[in-house]
Structure 1
Amino acid sequence: MKRLLLLAVVAGVLAGCGEKSEPTGNEAPPLEPFTVMLDYVPNADHAGLYAALEAGLYEQAGLDVKLQPPPDPAAPLRLLAAGRADVAISYQPELLLARDQGEENIVSVGALVQKPLTSLMALPSGGVRTPKDLSGKRVATAGIPYQDAYLKTILKAAGVEANAVQTINVGFNLTQAMLSKRADASLGSFWNVEGVDLQRRDQKPVILRMEEIGVPTYNELIFVARRQDLDAAGASRLRRFLSTTAAGHRLLRKTPQAGVDALVKADKGLEPELLEAQIKATLPVFFPTVPAREDRAAPSLAPQRTGDLPWGWQEPVEWAAYERWMRAENLLTRPPSEASPVTNEFLPGEGLGQGSRG
């Protein structure tokens, strides 16, 4: 019944998908398999994909999409490189690190989440309201090198000496470290997931977002593909996947409950009310915004655009700035590859010469 109620909304959403109707015949053509390796277990970050899947949008695009949680969070890019998926969802820094380690044939083909979700977080008892307050405090981290570099950058921007802050590697138990007062703050929790959860539990968290406290902005979650899979047939499947995923996010924006229902169906352990709050918090960063003119790329890198950017857009200048930051922090050691790590070529309405850099 819920799926039937979505049909009117879906019809309007598909109008922007750009797909042509196929002629009808006695038998529908077989669906083409398309495996997406998720970055983690199903959660609010994946709401648009699950909404598109449940509403049958991928089927209408001729794709049999399988959304596959990884056997381990470190595995998606490795499994993609081995040909176990058509696309993997990963993180911008993880892609750049993988390429630095020799996987130069993988490329980001679209942004799922436009802005950093990683945050510096504290509870009132921690006494941290700004980065300047970190002096003399204990900060829980997950021990991820580039996130440790985030903290170093944040402290430098705030004028706090690095040796004035004690870091504690707690793995992924960041929230518990704050609740138990083992740490005064944490770096690594997502403001749209753990932050929303703490807010709903009336813990009154202080949430400081990376791009607002000194770290160069980046796309938190991206779609990654192998260059050798982007021949004519592979490009067709990828374009349809991204175009339909864009439609799934337009559906989600109109009807967040579509994402809630689809995710709960995929994982019965999810809490619907919390999930709805997390999805609504994430909605703005599922969609690109046009940067201020002075922050835009030079004409040789990306042509001046008018109107909205396509869903999934990746700003080349921001990618270049973030890569420079990683190199300055000695996170990347090999010379830059001639093959760009990012392309917008396969996004809805895009193509060669339309803002693509690779």
Structure 2
Amino acid sequence: MKLTKLWLLVPLAVTLTACGNSKNQATNSTSTKKLTDVSIVLDYVPNTNHTGLYVAKDKGYFKDAGLNVKIIEPGDNATSIGMVGANKAQFGVSYQEDVTYAHADGKNIPVKAIATVLKHNTSGFVSKANSGITSPKDFAGKTYAGWQTPSEEAVLKAVMRNAGVNPKSLKIVGATGDGPKSLGKKNDIQWWFQGWDVIRAKNAGIKVNYMPLRKLDKRLDYYTPVIITNNTQLQKDPKVVKAFMAATKKGYQDAIAHPKADAKILHKYAKDDDLSFLEDSQAFLSANYTDNAAKWGQMDAKVWNNYTGFMKEYGLIKKAIPAKTLYTNQYVGD
């Protein structure tokens, strides 16, 4: 908020001291203005997908927007989409897949995506560099370790079928939790995020083959992660949504411009990760949040429709959901 120039409203005869006092009163009035409390629930522990949020908090962008923002890590039995849908938090970090599920087959969880953190899906399958597994055509007879979810199995089926390989020839087991250490030993293939797991493996001296999903099937270039809110917030207090997203966008634009400095900000909240690793990860994320900083967060209906079509084709949902039900660009600019 701009300070009101009270001295323009009083006679010129007023002394400079009086003018100064007026300015101080205006400043004090602004600084003591009550902030609106809101919260955002993360999808996971703090990482470089979230840097813009922590920058907005640390540098006062949220406060400048009139907001006191609490950033919450999800609990063991809670999800961001569940908490936001139940109006226990105003905002959350989620995924296109989960937003679609929220509206599928009569669920009608009242959430909507209001920004994408990344313009493209930066995840993919990995194998050890010396394994000879460089594409899904090499998956036959191998072992994949993952989360064993229906959507994960659907993706594996799709890319293997596209490669002319029988999906049943791949053995699927549960993830061991030790990621790179088990690759090539307990399992042959895993699903990693390029800006996190691949960099962590590189720093550990583990060489891998990386197979990006968006190159294997164009429908798999979906938005992950996204920022969501609930319909109650959109209907009753759109000004807060607008203020929150303006400050958030500024935070991500700051991270795009200053990756190394803002990795240090994130490190305050992600102390379990080495700063050097966060700097490497942030360099990748800052280059991949968007190809146009002014348009950070904007989404395309085609991306939503492509993945919804994929989910329907593989039986993950029964009916396609209109894109306009799932997202809006209203708060990040069309």
When normalised by structure 1's length, the TM-score is 0.81
**1:49/1:121 CA distance change after superposition, 3 Å:** same
> Which residue is equivalent to 1:152?
157
**Secondary structure of the equivalent of 1:44?**
coil
1:324 aligned to which of 302, 309, 317: 309
TM alignment of 1:1-358, pairs within 5 A: 21=2, 23=4, 24-28=26-30, 29-72=33-76, 75-100=79-104, 102-170=107-175, 172-178=177-183, 181-187=185-191, 189-216=192-219, 217-231=221-235, 234-287=237-290, 310-334=295-319, 336=321, 340-347=325-332, 350=333, 354=334
Deviation at 1:257, TM superposition (A): 2.7
Deviation at 1:288, TM superposition (A): 5.0
Q: Whole-Å Cα distance in 2 between the matches of residues 114 and 335 of structure 1?
A: 22
Partner letter of residue 326 of structure 1?
M
Q: Whole-Å Cα distance in 1 between the matches of residues 37 and 49 of structure 2?
A: 23
**Secondary structure of the equivalent of 2:50?**
helix
Deviation at 1:309, TM superposition (A): 6.2
Residues 100 and 321, structure 2, Cα contact 8 Å, conserved in 1: no
**1:288/1:82 CA distance change after superposition, 3 Å:** farther
Residues 304 and 323, structure 2, Cα contact 8 Å, conserved in 1: no
**Secondary structure of the equivalent of 2:211?**
strand
Deviation at 1:184, TM superposition (A): 1.1
Q: Whole-Å Cα distance in 1 between the matches of residues 77 and 299 of structure 2?
A: 23
Partner letter of residue 277 of structure 1?
D
Greater share of helix? 2
Residues 123 and 205, structure 1, Cα contact 8 Å, conserved in 2: yes
1:288-330 alpha-carbon deviations (Å, 9 max, x no partner)? 56xxxxxxxxxxxxxxxxxx86221011111111101100111
Higher mean alpha-carbon deviation, 323-332 vs 116-125, is at 116-125
**1:262/1:85 CA distance change after superposition, 3 Å:** same
Q: Whole-Å Cα distance in 1 between the matches of residues 76 and 120 of structure 2?
A: 24
Q: Whole-Å Cα distance in 1 between the matches of residues 181 and 329 of structure 2?
A: 39
Deviation at 1:72, TM superposition (A): 2.9
Deviation at 1:215, TM superposition (A): 5.0
When normalised by structure 2's length, the TM-score is 0.86
Deviation at 1:103, TM superposition (A): 2.8
Query: Once the two structures are aligned, what percentage of the paired residues are identical?
Result: 21
Deviation at 1:220, TM superposition (A): 0.8
1:57-85 alpha-carbon deviations (Å, 9 max, x no partner)? 11111111111111138511111112111
**Secondary structure of the equivalent of 1:136?**
coil
Q: Whole-Å Cα distance in 1 between the matches of residues 321 and 279 of structure 2?
A: 41
**1:259/1:210 CA distance change after superposition, 3 Å:** same
- How many residue pairs end up in the alignment? 309
Partner letter of residue 75 of structure 2?
P
1:189-238 alpha-carbon deviations (Å, 9 max, x no partner)? 21111111111222111111110112511111111111121135x21111
